[in-house]
């Protein structure tokens, strides 16, 4: 039996007979691996925090050798009480996907450069977490001292060519905070530098992008510059528009989300509404900082 539980690296190299030709049968490869197990370099894996293991393949391996070694590893981990097994395959090793699927692994998620597959060893219903379920979007309500709002017309999407003016919107990038994403989207689409003030509200919807749910955060920004430079690739036009003119658009009158964005934005500008401000906090489980959004105005009142 291969000592994969400890992840020990033997002194020998790979079985060159098994690696020399991909035409060898799986049975023959399994026998070769079994007879020369001490000469086989183990699959690269680490233990996760939930009683499972993560295999991250980085170098090529003959599918037959990989199959035999994976079978041995799964048998060993089952004896050890390991529950979840993950395999991360880079796109360059996509030839190993059929082998992994034949062992009972299923697709968990994929990114541009890799596919993650999962397997549950116990004979019970698995408790592995599902893939990410939500996309996070931001919309910016930004008004100048003339009570003009920053608006754009998009070159693509459902509003393309309809002459509809809307608030700048976009999707938060991986690892990006909501407040940073809102500032970035405004800068990219309009060239306007802005300061984040508050999250005014958010909307949750489902079955949006590839059947994922969607969280859309409405953010209040304060302009730091006023000269517009539109993003040619995505934006048809952009301008500072009197808020009354914006509100008079038939699209705004029919679209409840835009109507509420306008209402809460104006209420905040007129000092009648309190949104959520970011507070930097630490966790008991990590030294990394995160942001906690809260109604600071009313908290200060309650604390006073």
Question: Does residue 284 contact residue 293 with C-beta atoms inside 8 Å?
Answer: no
Q: Which residues contact 22 (CB under 8 A, 6 or more apart)?
A: 62, 63, 64
Catalytic: 188?
Answer: yes
Pull the structure tokens for residue 129.
Answer: 């977490």
What's the rounded Cα separation, in Å, for the pair 236 and 154? 5
Q: Which conformational region is residue 207 in: left (phi greater than 0), alpha (psi within -120 to 50 degrees), or beta?
A: left
Catalytic residue among 56, 176, 188, 236: 188
Q: How many C-beta atoms surround the C-beta of residue 109 within 10 A? A: 12
Question: Does residue 82 contact residue 120 with C-beta atoms inside 8 Å?
Answer: no
Largest CA distance in the chain: 82
**Number of residues assigned to the chain:** 304
Active-site positions read: 188
């Amino acid at each position: 039996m291969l000592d994969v539980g400890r992840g020990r690296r033997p002194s020998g190299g790979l079985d060159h007979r098994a690696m020399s030709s991909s035409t060898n049968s799986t049975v023959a490869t399994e026998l070769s691996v079994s007879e020369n197990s001490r000469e086989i370099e183990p699959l690269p894996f680490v233990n996760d925090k939930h009683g499972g293991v993560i295999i991250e393949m980085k170098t090529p391996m003959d599918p037959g050798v990989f199959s035999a070694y994976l079978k041995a590893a799964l048998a060993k981990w089952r004896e050890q009480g390991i529950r979840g097994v993950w395999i991360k395959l880079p796109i360059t090793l996509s030839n190993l996907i059929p082998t992994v699927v034949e062992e009972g692994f299923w697709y968990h998620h994929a990114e541009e450069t890799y596919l993650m597959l999962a397997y549950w060893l116990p004979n019970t219903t698995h408790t592995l977490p599902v893939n990410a379920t939500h996309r996070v979007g931001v919309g910016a309500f930004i008004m100048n001292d003339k009570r003009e709002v920053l608006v754009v017309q998009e070159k693509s999407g459902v509003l393309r060519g309809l002459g509809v003016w809307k608030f700048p919107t976009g999707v938060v990038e991986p690892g990006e905070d909501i407040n940073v994403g809102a500032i970035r989207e405004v800068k990219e689409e309009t060239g306007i530098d802005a300061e984040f003030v508050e999250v005014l509200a958010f909307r949750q919807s489902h079955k949006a992008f590839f059947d994922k749910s969607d969280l859309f955060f409405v953010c209040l920004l304060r302009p730091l510059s006023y000269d517009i430079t539109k993003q040619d690739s995505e934006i048809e036009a952009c301008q500072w528009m009197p808020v009354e003119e914006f509100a008079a658009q038939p699209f705004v009158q029919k679209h409840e989300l835009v109507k509420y964005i306008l209402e809460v934005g104006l209420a905040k500008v007129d000092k009648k509404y309190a949104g959520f401000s970011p507070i930097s906090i630490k966790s008991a489980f990590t030294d990394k900082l995160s942001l906690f959004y809260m109604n600071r105005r009313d908290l200060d009142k309650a604390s006073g």
